[in-house]
Amino acid sequence: MNFSVVTSQFWALCLQGLALGLIYSLISLGYTMVYGVLRLINFANSEVFMVGTFSILFIQVSVLGHAVNVEPIHGIQLIGALLLSLVGAMLVCALLAMLVELVAYRRLRAHGSNRLASLISAIGTSIFLSESFRIFTHSRPQTSPRLLEKWTFGEIAGANFRIDTVMAIIASIIIFFALDQFVNRSRLGAAIRAVSMSEENSRLMGINLNRVVTLTFAIGGLTTGAAAFFYTTIYENTQFNVGFNLGIAAFTAAVLGGIGNLRGAFYGGLALGLLEQFASAILGSQWKAVTVFLVLVLVLLIKPSGIFGEAVQQTRT
């Protein structure tokens, strides 16, 4: 127990917690969107994230040809490389999430199998992905090249405003805002909300259910890919099992905010990121996962519908 750290590094912990929390929020969208529509937990989302981090490595090392110990690059070249990694990871993750839906969920849904079957096939997909990467990378952690020089804007009250942290925070908020607008304003967003209210009625209204489901998986994949990009730029390494702990944390964030609820995922992620930073500063980082788990149990016990209530739209049958 080390409480003095809380007072001495309060703002630094807050800033780190904010960045981590936003990464959690982005991943938790992969759970929340799918849950809102299918009422199923997308277990493979954590591995979509893992594949996303590796796809960034692949783009930066193999496609752009940067060595792992490269000198930081600058200017237009840097922006181009970062944008390419971000968009590439988002696309890879979206495609993979759609593939996961096709392999693990679609057939089972068509046959009207029970929930247990879909859960098990999703877990199978997740194991398959993470273990394939384990064999592929020989269980070794992989370091990503540091393209972005980590300069700081300055220090305020002990909090170090580093470029990567600031970038992650601003960009995540923009992505969230865009997604919120998309779901609430656009025609496709209306379809998603309709399906989450009632699957049967929305089908009667002429909504192509499979297309909406694929779309929600793709959106979840896009945001998870963005999370993978921010994660690799901040932490600069990845491993085959990186999805496991982040996946549980992101799921907890989704439940904390109310699973199926977009804004809930945003605030849930923030709350969890802050909590985790403080918990690991006080108790030591090895107990981080335990805190997350305890939060999950407590939330489910006290208010299972989360802080902001379930479902993309409040209505639920």
Partner 1 sequence: MINIRDKGAEIWEGWNRPKRVALVLITIVLAGLLPFAASWGPTSFLNTPITSFQNVLVYPVGMFILMALGLNIVVGKSGLLDLGYVAFFAIGAYSQAILSTKFGWSTWEVLPVGIAIAMFSGMLLGLPALRLRGDYLAIITLGFGEIVRIIALNSKGTGGPNGVAGIPNPPAVFGFKFDLMHPEHYFWLVLGMILLVVWMIRRFTVRRPGRAWEAIRQDEDVAALMGVNTLVYKLWSFVIGAAVGGAAGVLYASKVMVISPDMFKFDVSVLILACVVFGGIGNIWGVILGAGILAYLPDRIRFISDARQVIFGLVLIIMMNLRPDGLLPRKKREKITEKSKK
Residues at the contact surface with partner 1, assessed by CB under 8 A: 40-41, 43, 103-104, 107-108, 112-121, 123-129, 131-132, 134-135, 244, 248, 251, 255, 286-287, 289-290, 292-293, 296-297, 300-301, 304
Q: Show the tokens assigned to 268.
A: 């849930």
- Write down the least CB distance from residue 194 to partner 1, Å: 23
For partner 1, the closer CB: 6 or 298: 298
CA distance 90 to 225: 4
CA distance 78 to 81: 5
CA distance 56 to 60: 6
- Write down the least CB distance from residue 82 to partner 1, Å: 33
For partner 1, the closer CB: 205 or 290: 290
- Write down the least CB distance from residue 99 to partner 1, Å: 12
CA distance 296 to 174: 27
| Other beta carbons within 10 Å of 246 | 24
CA distance 156 to 143: 30
For partner 1, the closer CB: 126 or 238: 126
Residue ranges of E strands in 78-158: 142-143, 152-156
- Write down the least CB distance from residue 114 to partner 1, Å: 8
For partner 1, the closer CB: 115 or 211: 115
Place of tokens 């679609």: 106
In which element (H, E) is residue 164 found?
helix 163-185
CA distance 267 to 108: 33
For partner 1, the closer CB: 62 or 114: 114
- Write down the least CB distance from residue 100 to partner 1, Å: 10
| Other beta carbons within 10 Å of 231 | 26
| φ/ψ (deg, to 5) at 237 | -155, 165
Contact 19, 273 (CB under 8 A): yes
For partner 1, the closer CB: 62 or 286: 286
- Write down the least CB distance from residue 243 to partner 1, Å: 12
Chain length of the chain: 317
Q: Is 284 helix (H, G, I), strand (E, B) or coil?
A: coil
For partner 1, the closer CB: 1 or 135: 135
CA distance 277 to 14: 8
Query: Cα separations (Å) of 273 from 18, 146, 166, 295, 297?
Result: 6, 24, 15, 12, 17
For partner 1, the closer CB: 41 or 90: 41
- Write down the least CB distance from residue 272 to partner 1, Å: 13
| Amino acid (1-letter code) at residue 262 | L
- Write down the least CB distance from residue 83 to partner 1, Å: 34
